[in-house]
Chains A and B, each alone.
Chain A
C-alpha cells in the first residue's frame, strides 16, 4: 500500500498495517481492520500472536525424511512405528498431508514436494524435493507409491516426471482415482470425495 493511504496514522501502526498487507488475501482495507483489532486486544493476547509468529519461524524445520514442516526431524509421522512403511504418498504441499490425515484412510508414509513442475514459472525438478524422494525410494522398503499430486495439468506433468525418473522396477505406482475432477485441488476437496478417491487409486 502507498504511503499516502496511511498518512495520519502513527508510524508503528502504519508499519503493522503494511506488514499485514503483505499476507496473501489481505488487501489494504483488511490489513487496517486487523491492525485496529490487534490494538484493541488485551496485551497478553496480542503478544501471543507475536510470539506464535516468532516461535514458528524459530522452530519449524523440514523433516529430513518426508520434507514436511515439523518442529522436530524426523517428524511425528516418520517416527511413528505404527505407520505402514510399505506405502508412500507423494503430495504437493504440507496442507495436502493435513487433508489426507483428516480422512484417516491412509496410514503410510508421506513425501512432500513443496510445489509442482511449472515450466511457465521457471519451476523445474530441481526446485522441488524430488532428489530427496528418489534417494528415499532407493533406501526405503516401500512397495507402493501413491502419486497424489493435484489433478491439474502441472500436477499430472509432475506425476509423469516422477514415474519416468523414480528408477525402481519393482515399485507399484498408483494415483488417486478420478473421483477428483480435473483442475481440482486436494486442499479444497471434501473428506468423502478424497477418501473415495484414495480407495480407488489406480496404477499409472
Chain B
C-alpha cells in the first residue's frame, strides 16, 4: 500500500485537528452562558483559520486516505469520549441525535440537489412521511426496523408520484411542486383525524432486538441509544452517498444537473436519473424521519413545517452543495446555534435566509468546495481540483 510516504507530522497535525474539533464540539454543546459560547466560537474560528493556513485539513484527508482503519477508529474513540462526557446531559444528547438525523436527511437532499440538481423544498414533509409511517406501524406492533424501512419506502413512493408528472418540464417546476406539497402536507395532517389532527400522535419507545430505547444506558441518559443508532444509520447513508458519487451513477447525476441537452445527446435519460435521485434521496429522508419521530415519542404537524424544509435546504447549501462532509458542520451550526442564542431563535428563519443568500452570492458552491470525483482511492494525483 501507500504507507511509506506518510510523515509523522502529517499524522500528528491530523490527530490534533480532530481533537480540536472534538473539543470545540463539546464546549459548544455544553456552553451554558452566551459569553462562554461566544468565546468558544471565537476560539473555534481562530483555530479554523490557523488550521486552514497550515493545511491541517489537507493532512486530515491524507491521513484518512492512507490509514483509513486508524482514522475511523479514532473517530469512534472520540465519539465514545464525547458520549461519556455528556452521558447525563439529556438535552446535549438529544441535540447530537437530532443533528445526526438531520444530517442523514441532508445526504438525501445532497443526492437530489447537489448531484442531480433537483431542488426539494419538501424535506420536512418527507421526514414527516417517514415519521407518521413509523407512528402508525409502531402503534400496530410492527417491528421497528421494518417500520423505519417502510417510512423510507413510503417517502420514496410519494416523492416519485409527486414529480412524475413534471419530469419532462425544464426549469424550476419541480421546486414549485415541492413547495406546494410541503405547505399542503401540514394542512393535510392537521385535518386528518386518523393521524391525530393538530394534536399529533404518540409513538411507543423503540425496541430493537431486545435493546430497549427507553432505558438508561450505562447509568446515563436513554438518549444515548438514539445517538448510537442515529450515528450508525448516518454512517451507512454517508457511505452509500459517497459510493453513489464515486460511480457511474454520480457521473450521470452530474451530467443531468449540468446540461440536460448535452446529456440527452449522449444517451442519458434525464427523467430516469431525476426520478432515481429523488427516490433514493427521499428514502434517506424518510428513514431519518422515522427514527427522529421515534426519539421524539410524540409527533405533530408542527414538527414538519415548510420552515423546517427551509432549514434542511440551508444546511445543504451552507455545507457545500454536493459535498456530504460539509453537511456535518453545517447541520451542527444551524441546529445548535439557535438553541444556544435566544436572539437567533426568534429570528432564525430570517437569519438563515440572509446567510444562505450571502453564501449563494459570495460562494455559490457552498462553504466547502466539492472536490472532483475520485472513482477509487488511488485515483489520479493527490488533491486534484482543490
Does B associate with A? no
A→B interface (CB under 8 Å): none
B→A interface (CB under 8 Å): none
